[in-house]
Every structure is written in structure tokens, then in C-alpha cells.
Amino acid sequence: MTQALQVENLRVSFPTGDGGRVYPVDGVSFTLDRGRTLALVGESGCGKSLTSLALLRLIPSPGRIEDGSTIRLGDTDVLSLRGEALRKIRGRRIGMVFQDPMTSLNPVFTAGDQIAEGVRAHFDVSRAEARRRALMLLQEVGIPDPLARLDAYPHQLSGGMRQRVMIAIALSAEPEILVADEPTTALDVTVQAQILEVLDRLRERHGMAVLLITHDLGIVAGRADRVAVMYAGQIVEEAPTERLFASPSHPYTQGLFASIPRITGPIGRLSPIGGSVPAPGAWPGGCRFRPRCPKAFEKSETMPPLLPVGFDHRMRCWLAERERA
């Protein structure tokens, strides 16, 4: 069975000050395949981070996952789990790497301790065995001089090393799925390359499914098998990576590509998307991109569903009906 994770119609809501609710994640569906990377791409406020938190049921209160959402891990229904059962899948079956390694590691414990803690949370092993596995994990994530690093405190480690420790912790339970939420955003470009390399290697070796959340299309191009673009709580385009980059079809995706500065190719004035991202409470009716879309037309006033626009390529735009490729 190649499908590791199946998400259908995920909706997350938060209460507003005056009794209503907003839905920062509004009907998101995707699947993760074993040994493959799906990139969830979008700018701030699109709901991608909340989506990843929802997978582990870590939505901070007073937010909640709405009924009608489905999250299936293999044949386990994640949303129906309670207590101990839920705790068991966190880390053990789905691991998570967070964005900011500076604040995600506990400053008063050594790296080795934190990794070993991860091991012992999911496997019944002795302290010595946990430490041994922690050392192995550090080697696997490519930290130089791992024996010394085992007893280092987070503040003694550089950003890149801390992120590797976070990955080691996430791997300590040998999860089937790894969720990496902007794992390299806080890191320098050369370190970024190192970390992405590590993630790739580990994915291949362990056959994990990886959900890579990022706003950087450059990272996506090199590392992801499939891409889903999010805007205002919804997926607006999804396709295999080559297809998406070869023919971005949704006007938002096209706008994103036009506004990225390039390191090669011709330089011209960038064409940014006009306006700004609306907040969850202020979404326009109909297609949410309509106010900023250069190709909006009358039908845009109705919310489009995801429509096919090529083989294995869908977008949430009525223009798909015109461009059946």
C-alpha cells in the first residue's frame, strides 16, 4: 500500500471575538505516498502550518478541527483517536520538524538527552540503549563529531546543527511520515542545502513519506515529487513538480512565479501580485483570489472546485474549463 496518509476535506476553525468562527484551513485534501515528498507551498496566512499541526491534532485551543474532516494514517482514523492512542501516533507514526531550531529545543537538556527522550517515549529500552541509538541518529543526520555533540547543550550548537538535532529527534521513533514545517527558513543558504540533503537521504533510506511545508519555490523544485499550492485556506493548484513548474496554471501560482527574483535568466522588473493576502475573516465571496486576479471574470464570483487542467494536474479556477490540455 503506497498511500501513507490520506487527508480529506480538512477544516480548522477558530472563534472570532464576537461569537462567529473563521476557517483558516477550509477544505484541504491531499495524500502522501511512501518514499515521496509532497510540498505544501504558500505565503503567510494561507493555512499551511495549521494544516500540518492538524495532522498531529496539535491545533492550539480555542481552535478545533471541524466535523467532516478526515485524516487516515494507513487504516487508522487519526481524528477518532483519544488519549494514549493519540499519543502513540505522535512521533511514532508521524514525526514533525519545526521551523525554528532556536526555540524548539529545550535549552536545559543536552542534545543527546533530548534525542534519547524521544527514543524512550516510543520504545521500551534502557537508558544506555537509548543513548546508543541517539548517537546513531546523530551520525545518520550527518553531524560532525557526533560523540561530542551528544553532550552539547543547544546554545553550544549552530543553527544548522540544532536543526539536525531536531531531525534526529523526529526520526528517533522511526515514523512513517515526516512533516517538516519550513525546516530551513531560519538557516543560511549553504546550511539549507546541507539540511535538505539530509532529509532526502533519510527519506530514501527509511521509505518515509515527507510533507514539506515551505514558501520557497526554489527548495520545492529540487526536492519535491508533488506540489500543492495553498491560498486563503484552500489548495488552489496541485501537480507533479515538473508539471507545475513547466506550466503553472492558476493565476496565483503564475503570479508567484512572476514575482520571484532569479539567479539566472533575464532580469526584468518583477511583477508582483497586486494587493495583499486577505485575513481569514475577510475572505471575499466566490473565488478568494478574485480581487487580486488579473484574469477574473463573471464566473469568478462563484467558488470554483478543483478542476483538472491536464493529466494529474488540478487547479481551483474556472479557467480550467477553457484550457483542457
Partner 1 sequence: MTLLQVRDLVKHYHAGGLFRAPAPPVRAVQGVSFDIGPGETLALVGESGCGKSSVGRTVLRLQEPTAGSATFEGIDLFALDRVALRKMRRRMQIIFQDPYSSLNPRMTVGGAIAEGMEIHRLATGKEVGRRVGALLEEVGLDPGYGTRYPHEFSGGQRQRIGIARALAVEPSFIVCDEPVSALDVSVQAQVLNLLADLQRDRGLSYLFIAHDLAVVRQIAHRVAVMYLGRIVEEGPTEALLRAPRHPYTVALLSAVPEPDPERQRARIVLGGDLPSPSHPPPGCPFHPRCFHPLRSERCRAEEPTLRPVGTTLAACHYAETTPSPEMAAAAVSPAAPEG
* 241 part of the interface to partner 1, by CB under 8 A: yes
When the beta carbons of 197 and 321 are compared against partner 1, the nearer one is 197
* 16 part of the interface to partner 1, by CB under 8 A: no
| Least separation in angstroms between CB 83 and partner 1 | 38
- Interstrand relation of 313-315 and 307-310 (parallel, antiparallel or unpaired): antiparallel
- Interstrand relation of 37-41 and 209-214 (parallel, antiparallel or unpaired): parallel
Q: Which three cell numbers stand for residue 318?
A: 474556472
CB 113, CB 149: distance < 8 Å? no
φ, ψ for residue 193, nearest 5 deg: -60, -40
Tell me how many residues contact partner 1 (CB under 8 A).
44
Q: Which of residues 266-305 bind partner 1 (CB under 8 A)?
A: 267, 269-273, 276-277
What DSSP letter does each residue of 294-319 carry, written as one string? TT--GGGGS----EEEETTEEESSGG
CB 199, CB 183: distance < 8 Å? yes
| Least separation in angstroms between CB 187 and partner 1 | 9
Burial class (CB in 10 A: 0-12, 13-18, 19+), 42: buried
| Least separation in angstroms between CB 235 and partner 1 | 18
Site map (CB under 8 A) of partner 1, residues 54-93, x = contact:
----------------------------------------
| Least separation in angstroms between CB 257 and partner 1 | 7
CB 30, CB 236: distance < 8 Å? no
| Least separation in angstroms between CB 284 and partner 1 | 17
When the beta carbons of 275 and 308 are compared against partner 1, the nearer one is 275
Q: Which of residues 116-155 bind partner 1 (CB under 8 A)?
A: 144
Instruction: Using the rule CB under 8 A, give the single segment among 28-36, 117-125, 220-228, 312-320 that binds partner 1.
Output: 220-228
Q: Which of 96, 111, 220, 229 binds partner 1 (CB under 8 A)?
A: 220
Q: Which of residues 176-215 bind partner 1 (CB under 8 A)?
A: 188-194, 197, 215
CB 90, CB 81: distance < 8 Å? no
φ, ψ for residue 101, nearest 5 deg: -65, -20
Burial class (CB in 10 A: 0-12, 13-18, 19+), 105: buried
φ, ψ for residue 54, nearest 5 deg: -65, -35
When the beta carbons of 95 and 248 are compared against partner 1, the nearer one is 248
When the beta carbons of 58 and 260 are compared against partner 1, the nearer one is 260
CB 313, CB 228: distance < 8 Å? no
- Interstrand relation of 209-214 and 226-231 (parallel, antiparallel or unpaired): unpaired
Q: Which of 155, 263, 311, 324 binds partner 1 (CB under 8 A)?
A: 263
When the beta carbons of 74 and 159 are compared against partner 1, the nearer one is 159
| Least separation in angstroms between CB 317 and partner 1 | 17
When the beta carbons of 39 and 116 are compared against partner 1, the nearer one is 39
- Give the binding site for partner 1 (CB under 8 A): 43-44, 144, 158-161, 188-194, 197, 215-222, 241-242, 245-246, 255-257, 259-264, 267, 269-273, 276-277
